Amino acid sequence: MNKELTSKKYWYEYWKGKPKIDSSIIAKDFLFHEVLNKYVPKKEKITFLEIGGYPGKWAIFFAKYWSANSTLLDRYIDREVIQALSKTNAVENINIIEGDVFDLSVDKKFDVVMSAGFIEHFSDVPSVVDKHVDYLKPNGILIMSVPNLLGLNGLLQKVVDRETYDTHFLETMYDQNLKEIVSSRGLDIEYISYHSKFGVWLEDINNKPRWVRRLVYLINIIGKFLVRFESRVFSPYLIVVAKNKNI
């Protein structure tokens, strides 16, 4: 049984508490940009799908820098916010599919399918990965990233913000687990790694007590100065890139 660790109400409250998201400038060096530049060719008429990614920052990123025909699929959608965020980034149009990925029928496939911070909210990881692959063209590229809560950042969240910590299924964050699941779907792993040398974060940190904000700030300063390599203990993300060899 695929247990979902969040709900539509959870995401409604989550996004309503995020002010000014429609005014964000999505830069060329946004998060995993170096991985994407290496593994996703900038070819003409590329089609891109972001699953569970409201407000669609990755869809906008690919439309902006890959000239992709981008689509956002999510069950929580505020179209005005997406339109405003697109306009802020000089992107004319993002296609929208509103609904639960587990309920929708697949009537179109894409060159690139991506989710960032989605699959870790479900306990049946293979079934979630299958939904991504369903939308992928032959020779298409699958990109999935999850936050890494197996090390220091997870310990911090477990102690300070247990409610948020409990919305994450930790098995998604072991690189070998994710590698085996993706490979078993007939995809070739092109890249899998913990990403960024160091980083700790808390949701809604501005509303946390001052000592917590200062602690997170201090940990990040010290960690970024001392840590010299990516690892399960200190890196804030895990990312996998795979190519669909299914015909």
- Ordered by start, the domain boundaries in the chain are 8-149+166-196+235-244
Indicate the Cα dihedral angle 98, 46, 57, 108, nearest 10°.
10
In tens, the pLDDT along 173-185 reads 999 999 999 999 9
Decide if pLDDT at 12 tops 90.
no
In tens, the pLDDT along 13-26 reads 777 777 778 888 99
Q: CA-to-CA distance for 160 and 147, rounded, in angstroms?
A: 17
Share of the chain above pLDDT 90, in %: 80
Decide if pLDDT at 10 tops 90.
no
Alpha-carbon Rg of the chain, whole angstroms? 18
pLDDT (0 to 100) of residue 70 = 97
- By the 8 A CB rule, do 47 and 112 touch? yes
In tens, the pLDDT along 48-57 reads 999 999 999 9
Look at residues 104, 114, 165, 119 and name the one whose alpha carbon lies nearest to residue 136.
114
The count of residues in the chain is: 247
Which residue in this structure is represented by tokens 């010290």? 222
pLDDT (0 to 100) of residue 8 = 77
In tens, the pLDDT along 56-89 reads 999 999 999 999 999 999 999 999 999 999 999 9
Q: Which fold would CATH assign to domain 8-149+166-196+235-244?
A: Rossmann fold (3.40.50)
In tens, the pLDDT along 122-161 reads 999 999 999 999 999 999 999 999 999 999 999 999 999 9
pLDDT (0 to 100) of residue 203 = 86
Distances (CA, A) of 137 to 35, 48, 57, 190, 242: 20, 11, 22, 16, 12
Angle at the Cα of 62 from the Cα atoms of 59 and 64, rounded to 5 degrees: 105
Coil vs helix vs strand at 107: coil
In tens, the pLDDT along 27-37 reads 999 999 999 99
Band of the pLDDT at 247, cuts 50, 70, 90? low
Q: CA-to-CA distance for 240 and 12, rounded, in angstroms?
A: 28
What's the number of CA atoms in the CB half-sphere (13 Å) around residue 59? 25
- By the 8 A CB rule, do 105 and 41 touch? no
What is the H or E stretch that residue 156 is in? helix 152-160
What is the H or E stretch that residue 139 is in? strand 136-147
Coil vs helix vs strand at 87: helix
Burial of 4 (0-12, 13-18, 19+ CB in 10 A): middle
